[in-house]
Amino acid sequence: MTVPAQKPARKLSMKQRYTALTHDLDWTPTYVTEEQIFPYTGFEGIKVHDWSKWEDPFRLTVEAYNKYQAEKDRRLYAVLDGFAQSQGQLGLTEARYMNAMKIFIQGIPIHEYDAHRMFSNCARYLNGPGARFAALCQSMDELRHAQTEIHTLSHYNKYFDGMHDWHKWSDRVWYLSVPKSFFEDAMTAGPFEWLIAIGFSFEYLLTNLLFVPFMSGAAFNGDLPTMTFGFSAQSDESRHMTLGLEAIKFMLEQDEANLPIVQGWLDKWFWRGYRLIALVAGMMDYMLPKRVMSWKEAFELYFEEQMMNGLFKDLEYYGIKPPRDVQWAIDEKEILSHQVYWVLYQYSHAAAFQTTIPNEEDQKWLMEAYPDTWPVFKAAVWDKAQRVMDSGGRYFNPGLPQLCTVCQIPMGFTEPGNPLQQCQRQSVYEGERYDFCSDGCQSIFDNEPVKYRQSWLPVHQIFQGNCGGPTLPDVAAWYGLQPGDGAEYLGSPDNLNWLAWHGQAVKEA
């Protein structure tokens, strides 16, 4: 009898490998109930009938994940090394560019770490193996992002002010309560709301507006390390977008009763996320010496074209409507950056970044990008600020601004259709009055007043005596600010150092 030569085992396809190494490793518990193992997926009212329907289009396995992530880090650290060795900071467009990066390190890495913590939680506590594995990958990604952002920007900390105590500032300084409250709001929700808040609304809908134009801006301003970590992080981001999209579709496909809950979260988290990235609008249009595109153009490209004309037409199938306040955001695209930067300008004496009046070249660009609205703001605020400068002063607002109870941004936004009429909304809850910058923030409060009445509002905290004392120097000391961290850019140590470095470079040449 002849034995036929054994055929070599066929290599598994990508799909088979993925299934074998994720879904097939799951088992049904017998000693304990599912509710005992996964106690947190019941209380939000989301009904799930079959967790095996969770699909991960990336079909990653641990082995493939490690292989590509290691390669991404190798490439990034090679760039960081070369930049440091070649004194790359001297090749930036201008030292004032660095103010955008100061806001970045103060406001972002610590919340990448928050995202790492919450996705670790999802990797343990979501019932389905596909969802858990995707969350595990994202958890590791977010930790990598926090680390690579800190490593990358630590080089600049040797040469520029405004970066030395970002960790402490994040917990204390007024404008940093905006991202902090956003992420802590999401972290204190349930796992499904977290997935809609961060996975879908932030990662899929809005994150392109944070990273893509910004990293392209870094590339345009000689900031090779930031461009590299940005694109490196963003390559993970496409997986996160996929997880967010899968999360919303999964909830909608599992049970029709999930639709109104998901729609409510989408309305809320679109607006929360949109208000958060208002800071990015100000940075893009005013803080980059060389701009790639305006906030308005980025919003049209990455939000209106992609999301309104693409995504929401797809989600219509499930009965999802575009976020409730989306039209307000669209109407604001011409004025948002002007308003945000004006807030930053007048309060930068109490901040860890510097601002300055747009110079002649900046103003030319602003006029081209915003022909209808720039002249209005120029006449209303910048011409006055310039007159103060010309007479040897510098306009800072000596008072403390009222903050919106929900987004925590100073009340500098305006009524729709009237760019100079401040918008103010109020709700009374149990005899206390709360103030808001917009209909969006007000309705978020009205839906969950018990949560938002607890907001840690930096201005209220100062008045309550919790921030070092009643005067600006008291508060600045409690914040941990040092001279040179904030206020006017022109004449600051960063500005003078920059001129000295380049003066010397010219002499030697």
Partner 1 sequence: MTVAAGSRPVGIDLQENEENRALVEAIEADNDDLTIRHMPGLIRLTKNGSLVINQASVEARLGRPWETHELQMAIVTYFGEFVEWDDDQIVIAWNH
Contact residues toward partner 1 (CB under 8 A) are: 13-15, 57-60, 64, 68, 71-72, 208, 211-212, 215-220, 227, 231, 234-235, 237-239, 241-242, 245, 292-293, 305-307, 309-311, 313-314, 316-317
Task: Give how far Cα 209 sits from Cα of 112, 291, 297, 461, Å.
Answer: 16, 14, 10, 31
Which residue's CB is nearer to partner 1, number 214 or number 436?
214
Residue 148 CB, nearest approach to partner 1 (Å): 15
Question: Which amino acid, 203?
Answer: E
Helices (H) then strands (E): counts for the chain: 25, 2
Q: In Å, how far from its chain's centre is CA 171?
A: 16
Residue 10 CB, nearest approach to partner 1 (Å): 12
Which residue's CB is nearer to partner 1, number 14 or number 388?
14
Q: In Å, how far from its chain's centre is CA 55?
A: 26
Which residue's CB is nearer to partner 1, number 61 or number 482?
61
Which residue's CB is nearer to partner 1, number 108 or number 227?
227
Residue 149 CB, nearest approach to partner 1 (Å): 16
Which residue's CB is nearer to partner 1, number 95 or number 233?
233
Which residue's CB is nearer to partner 1, number 175 or number 302?
302
Residue 230 CB, nearest approach to partner 1 (Å): 9
Token digits for 464? 């309550």
Please report the DSSP string for 334-395 in residue order.
Answer: TTHHHHHHHHHHHTGGGSSS-B----HHHHHHHHHH-TTTHHHHIIIIIHHHHHHHHTT---
**CA dist., res. 451 & res. 123, Å (int):** 26
Residue 304 CB, nearest approach to partner 1 (Å): 12
Residue 406 CB, nearest approach to partner 1 (Å): 28
Quick one: DSSP state of residue 437? S
Which residue's CB is nearer to partner 1, number 173 or number 212?
212
Residue 133 CB, nearest approach to partner 1 (Å): 15
Sign of CA dihedral 166, 168, 170, 175: negative
Evaluate whether 369 touches 285 at the Cβ level (below 8 Å).
yes
